[in-house]
């Protein structure tokens, strides 16, 4: 089954404790993105990647890092999480412009 998977689905952590949210897709897509979703703000792009070792900032990259060492994986790294990074995070992948497949989401709470 073609899908985008994210782990963990739910995470509660404390300020400053480094964490990684994994994202994997099995569709051999070149393009992957991370979004955060906040009430009243819709989805905002954090980072995107057009291929292995090629990443670029989206609209809200501050406080986040990404890496793309393999085509299927695109982890999101929070080196020092803060409460304002409490949000619902989505990973997405696509093989052509705009047609993005979203993962199920990761709900992160930073206390």
Binding site for another protein (CB under 8 A): 4, 31, 33, 40-45, 48, 50, 58-59, 90, 92, 94, 97-105
Unique residue bearing structure tokens 């790294």:
77
Please state the closest distance from residue 21 (CB atom) to another protein, in A.
14
Which has the closest alpha carbon to 37: 106, 110, 83?
A: 106
Please state the closest distance from residue 55 (CB atom) to another protein, in A.
11
C-alpha pair distances (Å), 45 with each of 14, 37, 60, 65, 110: 24, 9, 6, 13, 20
Q: Helices (H), strands (E): how many in the chain?
A: 0, 11
Please state the closest distance from residue 110 (CB atom) to another protein, in A.
21
Closer CB to another protein, 1 or 42, in the complex: 42
Closer CB to another protein, 3 or 82, in the complex: 3
Closer CB to another protein, 62 or 98, in the complex: 98
H or E segment to which residue 10 belongs: strand 10-13
Closer CB to another protein, 45 or 82, in the complex: 45
Please state the closest distance from residue 80 (CB atom) to another protein, in A.
27
How many CB atoms sit inside 10 A of residue 77's CB? 14
């Amino acid at each position: 089954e073609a899908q985008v998977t994210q782990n963990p689905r739910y995470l509660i952590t404390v300020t400053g404790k480094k964490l990684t949210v994994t994202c994997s897709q099995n569709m051999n897509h070149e393009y992957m993105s991370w979004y955060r979703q906040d009430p009243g703000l819709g989805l905002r792009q954090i980072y995107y990647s057009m291929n292995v070792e090629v990443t670029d900032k989206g609209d809200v990259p501050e406080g986040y890092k990404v890496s793309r060492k393999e085509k299927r994986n695109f982890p999101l790294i929070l080196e020092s999480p803060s409460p304002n990074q409490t949000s619902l995070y989505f990973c997405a992948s696509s093989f052509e412009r705009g047609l993005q497949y979203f993962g199920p989401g990761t709900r992160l709470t930073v206390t």
